[in-house]
Structure 1
Amino acid sequence: MTSSWASFRAGLEEFYAGPYRRTFARARREEDDLFRMIILAEALGVPDPAAYYTAELMPFLYEDFHAWHRRMGMDRSPLEHIGCC
């Protein structure tokens, strides 16, 4: 009985969310890009009053930095201390 409800729920979820999966992925990527820009604002030269609190998040952003700056239209890394290209 439980597995039939679980499969019914999965079917409904696929029916309602399936057509919008690409839209949800794009919205999430845009939110991640904005978050990354806010974290890297101080390194990019934009004064950031919360730089002290966001500095500890920078190591988590380095692995995706190359894909981010390419999506933002920058051919080369805008930061001297990150040579990803």
Structure 2
Amino acid sequence: MKLDTIKAWFRQASFYAEEAYNAPYRSAIARAQREQDDLFMLLVFSEMMGVPNPASYYTLELQPLLLERFHDWHQRMGMEHSPLDQFRCC
């Protein structure tokens, strides 16, 4: 019983130490993830914006899945309104 208590304490201490170590890097990691997501969205919707996409065959089926996040993405990219003529989200 005593050994289980010590193991639980070390697990909890390890969790808090890891959280304290990772805390300063969370915003940088989130920013890098957002940039990767933005690039991926550009790749998926580039054909609709007139940019040739060599992977359009593979990304075409992803468009319906990403349409929900499209509005946030185009605003983050500095486009006030949707750049797609056939798709109005604003």
Fold shared, TM-score > 0.5 on shorter chain: yes
> Hey, what does 1:37 align to over in structure 2?
42
CA distance in 2, matches of 1:33, 1:22: 16
Q: How far is the alpha carbon of 1:47 from its aligned partner? A: 0.8
Q: How far is the alpha carbon of 1:9 from its aligned partner? A: 2.2
CA distance in 1, matches of 2:67, 2:21: 35
* TM-score for both structures, normalised by structure 1: 0.90
Give RMSD over aligned pairs.
1.2
* TM-score for both structures, normalised by structure 2: 0.86
Q: How far is the alpha carbon of 1:41 from its aligned partner? A: 1.1
Q: How far is the alpha carbon of 1:3 from its aligned partner? A: 2.5
Q: Residue 51 in 1 paired to residue 85 in 2?
A: no
Q: Residue 69 in 1 paired to residue 74 in 2?
A: yes
For residue 26 of structure 1, give the secondary structure of its aligned residue in structure 2: helix
For residue 52 of structure 2, give the secondary structure of its aligned residue in structure 1: coil
Richer in helix (by share)? 2
Superposed, 1:4-15 pairs within 5 Å as 4-15=9-20
Structure 2: runs of 5+ lacking an equivalent: none
Structure 1 window deviating more from structure 2 (29-38 vs 6-15): it is: 6-15
Identity among equivalent pairs (%): 49
- The one-character-per-residue Cα deviations of 1:2-61 (angstroms, maximum 9, x if unpaired) are 422321221121121101111111111111001110111111111112101110111111
For residue 80 of structure 1, give the secondary structure of its aligned residue in structure 2: coil
Question: Number of matched residues?
Answer: 85
Change beyond 3 A, Cα 1:6–1:81: farther
Structure 1: runs of 5+ lacking an equivalent: none
